Structure 1
Amino acid sequence: MQHLPTPEDPGSITRVAGIEVGHFTDTRRPTGCSVVLARAGAVAGVDVRGAAPGTRETDLLHPSNLVEQVHGIVLAGGSAWGLEAATGAVRWLEERGVGFDVAVGRLPIVPAAVLFDLLVGDMRVRPDAAAGYAACEAASMAPVAEGNVGAGAGAAVGKIFGIQNAMKGGIGSASVTVNGVTVGALIACNALGDVVHPDTGAVLAGSRTDDGQAMRDTRRALLRGEAPRPLLAGTNTTIGVVATDAVLTKAQAHRLAVAAHDGLARSINPVHTMSDGDTLFALGTGLAQRNPGMMLLATMAAEAVALATVRAVQAASALTTAEGLHLPCARDFARP
């Protein structure tokens, strides 16, 4: 069985056996959280590349540390406050008897990462434990909803020349299947830089010119000597999960997370900056009962991540907040 993503069928991380995804989107302002569940457990790894991350329980994923499997990953808006959403996911899983056996009960292991969306709407509204619980309630193996939902609800991209010149980010998913093994990705894109087409380099969404009518092309603008606007550190981040049904060791899961960042490098420019907290988790459910080799898996992971990042902005819708911030979307600038 083979599947290479196309615009008509990009695939979804839920095509990976053993993976469910759910979103909670807060209607009071654009923010929310997304959960990736592996109820039977999945070997996990993580790689943090950005210099301003917001994370929970990432140290336990180091290959030398004890816990072998996790039961879910939470991606959330709300900056550091959004980490509370993982508490709700832990409670939901515990109620269903899912977790690491600690003799007196089961402890669900749910790492998390957050993005900064506090400039979009009322920052006092942010994901909490109830939001994480609700996202779990909504989880299924259906194709993942994309765009202005879950952790992507308040995401914006291209903020390096000011939020007023930015565009709407979002959340996207894609998957690749080769010889019966699937790798999928779920990416919430709130990048400082532009999102570009991984094959052509064309800017799809990002910083606009000061009149708001055209793409600035951040890479070329910086190389021309245009100075970025003053930035508040940590106000940008692309976070996500790459999952596979291949059998992985914990060390291999770590390497898969490392390789997955190549997909961000192909679809975001600039990426991994001092003002981003770019973090990717990797999960291996093992349900394909084999490993086709890390060379192939790494290639598939980078491909799925690059395309999921593109999907995040292509599926996003334009947004205007009550405070007057307008974020157009990629479709507003798409050529016929």
Structure 2
Amino acid sequence: MRSSPAAPALPYPGAITDVRGIDAGHYTDPRRPTGCSVVIAPDGAVGGVDVRGAAPGTRETDLLDPANLVGVVHAVLLSGGSAWGLDAAGGVMRWLAERGTGLRVGAAPGQIVPIVPAAVLFDLHVGDARIRPDADAGYAACDAARSGPVPQGNVGAGAGATVGKLFGMAHAMKGGIGSAAVTVGGVTVGALIAVNALGDVVDPATGAPIAGARTADGRALRGSVAAVLAGEAPLSLLAGTNTTIGVIATDAPLTKAQCQRLAGAGHDGLARAIQPVHTMSDGDTLFALTTAQAPALDFNVLCVMAAEAVARACVNAVRAAQGIQTDTLNLPCASDLIAAHA
């Protein structure tokens, strides 16, 4: 398997770990492009979720409903491997429990339950589909978690991510995982997004595609929305074979209901950066966490920040990605197409 040279500098600064009380880490499987990523709140966090795609693969999302009992989240897992990748959450739970982090359900040893919601994306068509993230992968991602800079591109849940599949994998490009953060009034909102979309990733500032479905010769971007509106027929795809998943985090204090609303605002960022988005073949899911370690900020401002952080993280994901070639697929990255036209 061959890959492109190192990706260029990223356009947007910051990472989800700029949020006080948040760590993040990846595990990338060396055997094929797949992996998982974890966002950890060592002191616990209030959480919410918003699922917009029609084919999600998730775990513990019902628990995050504001009407339900449990009000704390200890980590969120993002994983490749389709539904198989949900196994990795068990490793995250084991790692947290070994460190005494979780919901106490009794005084006896072992009576602790870490709360680990999770979402998966489909990457089984890149390499050997028998290789999927498992509990050991989730544990290793936790071992790698830090509060500093977050690796981006072909790592963790973004290792096997692809974009621009509306006209088939032969015209697709490499996706990835990206992070970004914005700060206003001493409060930070950050995002970690694994971009594996059916649609194209566009520059929110111009609407121009950055990575996505390519033309028949593979040398330029087709523009999926424009192509569909011009009458080009997309291929019929199995539901759930795509999906963009991610975590938004802030250090502003929020209720559980506000976290759910913040996750919803983050989907505005997906809509700015991915076209089309929330399709029948995507399981787009965003989680939101608050560590409440900063002052309060107007909630409307936080929603603006969440959408912006998500959009920026999507752009960083494809800018950081490196192209790969397997025996059956050629998946160039955004910088490959730029170099081809230099």
TM-score tier after normalising by the smaller chain length: over 0.9
In 2, the alpha carbon distance for the partners of 1:164 and 1:119 equals 12
Secondary structure, aligned partner of 1:305:
helix
State the SS of the aligned residue for 1:237: coil
Residue 57 of structure 1 aligns to which amino acid in structure 2?
E
Residue 153 of structure 2 aligns with which residue?
147
Conserved? CA contact 2:12–2:312, under 8 Å: no
Structure 2 Cα separation of the partners of residues 110 and 304 of structure 1? 23
2-structure distance, mates of 1:118, 1:251: 35
Q: Give the equivalent residue in structure 2 for 1:135.
A: 141
- Structure 1's unaligned 5+ residue stretches are 1-5
Match of 2:6 in 1: none
Task: Work out the CA distance in 1 between the residues paired with 2:118 and 2:178.
Answer: 18
Match of residue 284 from structure 1: 290
Q: What is the aligned partner in structure 2 of residue 158 from structure 1?
A: 164
Q: Return the TM-score normalized by structure 1.
A: 0.96
Match of 1:171 among 173, 177, 187: 177
- Give the fraction of aligned pairs with identical amino acids, expressed as a percent: 68
Matched, 1:21 2:27: no
Shift of 1:324: 2.7
Letter in 1 for 2:311: A
Deviation at 1:311, TM superposition (A): 0.4
Residue deviations 1:220-279, cap 9 Å, x none? 000001000121111010000000000010000000000000000000000000000000
1:303 aligns with one of 301, 305, 308: 308
Structure 2 alignment gaps of length 5 or more: 1-8
78-87 or 290-299: bigger deviation: 290-299
* Number of the residue aligned with 2:4: none
Measure, in 1, the Cα distance between the counterparts of 2:268 and 2:332.
27
Instruction: Please tell me the residue identity of whatever aligns with 1:297.
Output: L
| CA distance in structure 1 between the partners assigned to 2:80 and 2:325 by the alignment | 18
> What is the CA–CA distance in structure 2 between the aligned matches of 1:112 and 1:313, rounded to whole Å?
22
Q: Deviations over 1:148-177 (max 9, x none)?
A: 000000000000100010000000000000
Give 1:7 shift.
4.9
- Which residue type is aligned with residue 306 of structure 1? A
- 1:328 is aligned with what amino acid? P
Matched, 1:11 2:11: no
Q: Describe the superposition over 1:264-323 as per-residue Cα deviations: whole angstroms up to 9, x where unpaired.
A: 0000000000000000000000001x32111000000000000000000000000011x2
- Alignment of 1:258 with 2:261, yes or no, is no
Matched with 2:91 is 88
Q: Distance in 2 between matches of 1:131 and 1:186?
A: 18
Which residue number corresponds to residue 335 of structure 2? 331
C-alpha deviations, 1:197-216, integer Å up to 9, x for none?
A: 01100100000011111100
**How does the TM-score come out when normalised to structure 2?**
0.95
Which residue does 2:192 correspond to in 1?
A: 186
In structure 2, distance between residues paired with 1:195 and 1:77: 19
CA drift at 1:33: 0.1
Q: Distance in 2 between matches of 1:333 and 1:311?
A: 16
Q: Partners in 2 of 1:176 and 1:239 — Cα distance? A: 19
Q: Does 1:30 align with 2:28?
A: no
3-state SS of 2:244 partner: strand
Correspondence 1:116 to 2:130: no
Structure 1 runs, 4 residues or longer, greater than 3 Å off: 6-9
1:103 matches 2:106: yes
The aligned residue for residue 230 of structure 2 is 224
Aligned to 2:71: 68
Match for residue 320 of structure 2 among 312, 315, 320: 315
